Amino acid sequence: MVRQVTIIITPDMVDLTQINLSQFSGYDIDVARSGFPLAEAIEYQNLPSGGFKLINGSKFILNERYTVTPLPKQIAQDPTSTYPISQYPHTLTLTSISDSVQDGNGNWMQGAVTVSERACRAEPSSSGRYLVGSDGDKIYYDFVIYMPLPAGTIGAGTKAEITNQDLEFLAKGTIKRFNRGQLNARAWL
């Protein structure tokens, strides 16, 4: 019989040993709500914000629910035989420029450029998908971008670029809308 443990990552868990992952030779970590394996948890790094990140880049965040199942011994010994599925396999790079300001002499100074990165999953839209703007206009988008919580607000018009785990370019454009839900945050590109 396979031992299985359901865990919720909480702020008091400072590392994986507190949830007893070290007692098995290898792990298959599944998100409880989907049942699809995300990654093998043999090597990990703690996140300052709480939770932990596997060496392959999969992140497990505070207050998310995961199921931990030991892998069969031969799979645990052969990392090429696992299925490295990541919930957020892409990287969203955001570039925002603050407004220009006047200095004490009346000269206009260019606004500061801020670049930030977030883990995400980008899914292409079906043909002809659009959002309805506040004025009733159709706003067409190419990708829906899903991000883990907590996620800071992304303003409409922010420049964005999406790359995959191999740093291959997937898409570039501006954010059309942002929404923070109960399970994740979404942006439309």
pLDDT at 8: 45
Asked if the model's pLDDT at residue 116 lies above 50, the reply is yes
- pTM as predicted: 0.51
User: With pLDDT > 70 as the criterion, what percentage of the chain qualifies?
Assistant: 55
Distance CA 94, CA 186 (A): 14
- C-alpha to C-alpha distance for 181 and 112, rounded to whole angstroms: 30
Residue-wise DSSP of 113-168:
EEEEEEEEEEEEPPTT-EEE-TTS-EEE-SEEEEEPSS-----TT-EEEEE-TT--
Q: Is pLDDT above 60 for 143?
A: yes
- Of residues 18 and 157, more confidence is placed in 157
Considering the chain, what is the average pLDDT of its residues? Answer: 65
- Residue 62 near residue 53 (C-beta atoms within 8 A): no
Amino acid identity for residue 16 in this structure: L
Domain ranges of the chain: 5-81, 90-188
pLDDT value of residue 75: 39
